[in-house]
Chain A
Amino acid sequence: MCRLALKTADTPFSPYEVLSAMEAMQEGYDGSGLGLLLRGIRFDDFNYKGDLPILSGIAHSEAALQRLNGFMEERGYELKYDHEFDMTPGLIEAEDREKYIVRVYKEPTGVDKSEEATEDRYMKLRLALRENGEEHGGDLTVFSFWPQVVIIKEVGWPLQVGDALGLNDGRIKARVVMAQGRQNTNYGINLYACHPFFIQGISTMTNGENTAFIPIREWLTGKQIPGYVGYQSDSEVFTHILHYVTKKLKLPLEAYKHVITPLKTEELDVHPQGEFLKGLRTVCRRLIIDGPNAVIGTLPDETCLLTMDHKKLRPATVGGKPGVWAMASEICGVDAMIPDRDRSLDFQPMREHTVIIPPDRKEMVIWSQFDQFTLPQAA
């Protein structure tokens, strides 16, 4: 079963702390892989200004690396920083890992700097590189191209992957770290199938299985929205639905829960926004997830969220204190990340809850689906 861990703190910390939490949750877990997302990056040897995009991925051959260099130069992207991991050879099972890419680029001058155009450009560049890799037998894997975000995905035991990349040396730190410890076992093993998934700054990871995957994938694909591709894993749709709800429909974060696990008709009949929510449920019917899941996500502004499936068939706990919070699929994971918290204030969300840690990290917001939320359309 997947194990999930997230830590968010005002002060950047080493991702190795989160890997230790993964180790604490090792019982009943196959340790077949690691997906790691770092947000709010601080490099030890580079004064990173937060607005430059970072490219994360893997070049599987020298040729791919050269092609990547050419690709970026051709488009006028200037390499500002190229992070070299302090590798320990022999700890990674896979052999075709020419280079783990974490590179900071400066965009060419003269591009449209508006928010929407920039976000689109970042995503299209990522997709183009991904396609480029796929055209060349998959020799280039690209996880993200986004400011403040680094993604690492690898097959193997999470802590061992961390050791192999020397993640405990403090050269990369982040304010938010998401870790997931399993390669997709439902479908073929593929680095793209590993959580957390990422699109335009939005990322989620999930434990469990989404049994409504195929109809959701068909619907999302049918929307023909750039970036709604991949789907090597049934959990990727959770990320795209979050993206669709917040970016495309421009609904508040609370609406995500109402889309993926809407309330029953009898419950909506007495809900203050019931009529609107019934309509939303109908029009977004194809996005209703099914199956036992805990969804942990982060947004570009470092908001973190945790929400459950409709029957609360998966565990998940949030705990912490002002300034530092942790979410994990098992309570021992939270213990490992923040041992010195008041455990009596831990919260295990039930089926109706979305737990949100706002960017200020002062408190956790527990929002229930039965509560009203601010929404002009529902007024």
Chain B
Amino acid sequence: MVSVRSVYTTPSSLTYHDLPWIIRHREDRCTLCGRCTSVCPVQAIYLTYRRQRVPKLDILKKKRGNEYRTFVGIRQKTTIENKCIGCGMCAMVCPNEAIGPEPNSNEDRSLFHMHQNGEAWKRGGRRNLPGRTILDRIVFNRISMLTDPALDAGRHEFSTNTILGRVLSPEEFLRRKAAGEWIPPTREIFPFVIGSMSFGALSPNMWLGLLQGVAYCNEVLGIPVVMATGEGGCPPWVLKSPFLKYIILQIASGYFGWDEIIRAIPEMQCDPAAIEIKYGQGAKPGDGGLLMWFKVSKLIARLRGVPEGVDLPSPPVHQTLYSIEESVMKMIQTMSMAFGFRVPVYPKISGSTSAKSVLNNLVRNPYASALLIDGVDGGTGAAYNVSMDATGHPIASNLRECYLDLVAQGRQNEIPLFAAGGIGKNGNVTQNGMALIMLGASGVHIGKYIMQAAAGCLGNEMGRCNVCNVGICPKGITSQNEKLFRRLDPDDVAQRVADTFMAIRTEMKKIMAPLGRSQTLPIGMSDALGIDDAAAAERLKIKYVC
């Protein structure tokens, strides 16, 4: 017997019942092939020898006793660094359905121990708050029943595109046209944009798959989808390719990758769709981009002009700038000029109660092309858990407030607002996006949804997976390790991108047709919206329905 007192436990010693995910392993089905242990991204499970007592009863001798057998079993590690992340890859590779993680219905004690060695918990994913969002609860209820023949989503022609770029007032447009002056560039794009995910955060295969899919949507399906790069540049072959026109290049506070971009300008075959200047991100307001050293591979290091294997934290602010007014003056104008005033340049900010002030500054600047507001439910490849869970502003009311502010000034057509952060969080991507459009957005950016739909990202808002930051993505989406990302076939990703956007386009028509809208995207058509929450209805200035 071992005395209990001598059992060594540390403050962070946990049992598997304390962990968020418990591995259920069925000895009777297991063939000990070892696939599960080798695929597990965090080495949470291991093969181990165990001894089992087999009760023995010798009836003739009237004697009871035990026999012991030794077997090889699979067990779960309980250390914090090896705790099961619930990705379920073990179940995916098991030929006999002998293993898989199950959520622990008890409390998760590991939460109290995530800051080992004084390191605050960093992870990927988005705010871990499951359940229906406000956007999920919005219904489209102004159905044209009275005087209209209903539109037919399957047969009628629908205009589902939006405008990205600064739009002049009609008076000013006509004046400038007559005087032969500069008209700000605009792009006609699909209102669901693949949001900024950097080449670095995403694996080369994921990135290539997305780009292939986007090109297919544009060139074959006629859906003008664009995608944003995120900070970290763009592979030179893309910069010099005709696909650049489908890409929004992001410049952020670390300026990673911009050397390559600037050098490529003379060789560009076409202009990029737009330039996005990142001032903030919904997932981690007040924090810069973060590419952890695990993911800074040789290729990434070359693109970003940095040494291999170092953490790349971008500062929270653009260091050369004092305020957003100054930024608008300098950065937006500089970027516009670099591309010959032919490319829309717009800022991306975190959802915030101060978003309106930023917007009002932009309205007065003739070069600002749009404003992208990223809400608290936005995803990221790497951030502190506390930033993700507790910092930020939900997108719905933030966007609505900004839109109504523009309406009050009569400028709602001039600065298009784009919304992001939690669109499609529960899979309702078109419904969420159209709700935001009718609240006043000109379009929405989707990142996490695209990873989930187009590449099978396993992360969810109950803490599942969420390891994008350390480069061990079990699906190969956010890893720079070739052994992992070769699991992802770019052609399959491209196919899923096309599937996704075709379905979104059809669903958009299914929403627009009963509302009697087909000629233009119903931006700001708030009379069509209802929600089963009186307080939210009042805040969003839409109808309360029950």
Contact = CB atoms under 8 A, between A and B. Distances in A.
Given A209-B147, A249-B171, A283-B167, A291 B523 contact: no
A145 B147 CA distance: 31
B149 to A, nearest CB: 6
Given A265-B188, A279-B173, A282-B167, A290 B517 contact: yes
Contact count band on A? 35 or more
A211 B515 contact: yes
A208 B410 contact: no
Interface string B514-546: 011111101111110000000000000000000
B159 interface: yes
Name, among A261, A279, A283, the residue most crowded by chain B CB atoms within 10 Å (CB to CB): A283
Interface in B164-183: 167-171, 173-174, 177-178, 183
A65 interface: no
A222 B526 contact: no
Interface in B365-407: 407
B148 interface: yes
B522 A222 contact: no
Contact of A285 (B147, B148, B178, B413): B413
A186 interface: yes
A223 B414 CA distance: 12
Nearest to B222: A266
Contacts of A125: none
Given A264-B159, A291-B148, A283 B525 contact: no
A376 B519 CA distance: 28
Contacts of A249: 170-171, 174
B365 to A, nearest CB: 18
A313 B148 CA distance: 9
B244 to A, nearest CB: 20
Interface in B415-447: none
B147 A218 contact: no
B516 A209 contact: yes
Interface string A174-202: 00000000000110000000000000000
A219 B519 contact: no
B114 interface: no
Contacts of B188: 265
B167 A291 contact: no
A222 B148 contact: no
A311 interface: yes
Contact of B146 (A186, A213, A224, A313): A186
Interface in B485-519: 515-519
Name, among A224, A284, A286, A292, the residue most crowded by chain B CB atoms within 10 Å (CB to CB): A286
B157 interface: yes
B411 to A, nearest CB: 7
B144 interface: yes
A185 B517 CA distance: 20
Contacts of B522: 212, 215, 290
Contacts of A289: 519
Contacts of A376: 178
B147 A286 contact: no
Name, among B149, B174, B183, B188, the residue most crowded by chain A CB atoms within 10 Å (CB to CB): B174
B156 interface: yes
A75 interface: no
Given A215-B524, A219-B413, A292-B149, A283 B173 contact: yes
A334 interface: no
A147 to B, nearest CB: 28
A214 B148 contact: no
A244 B410 CA distance: 14
Given A212-B517, A222-B411, A284 B170 contact: yes
A208 B148 CA distance: 7
A290 B149 contact: no
Nearest to A310: B519
Contacts of B412: 215, 218-219, 222, 286
A54 B318 CA distance: 64
Contact of A209 (B144, B409, B520): B144
A87 interface: no
B408 interface: yes
Interface of B: 142, 144, 146-149, 156-157, 159, 163, 167-171, 173-174, 177-178, 183, 186, 188, 407-413, 515-520, 522-527
7 pairs of A and B residues whose beta carbons are closest in the complex: A222-B410, A211-B516, A283-B173, A215-B524, A214-B527, A290-B519, A209-B147
Interface of A: 1-2, 185-186, 207-209, 211-215, 218-219, 221-224, 244, 248-249, 251, 261, 264-265, 276, 279-280, 282-286, 288-292, 310-311, 313, 376-378
12 contacts: A209-B147, A209-B516, A211-B525, A214-B527, A219-B413, A261-B519, A265-B188, A283-B413, A286-B412, A290-B517, A292-B147, A377-B177
Given A1-B147, A279-B183, A282-B163, 19 more contacts: A2-B147, A211-B515, A211-B516, A212-B519, A214-B525, A219-B410, A221-B410, A222-B411, A222-B412, A249-B174, A264-B157, A276-B177, A285-B167, A286-B413, A288-B519, A291-B144, A292-B148, A311-B157, A311-B518
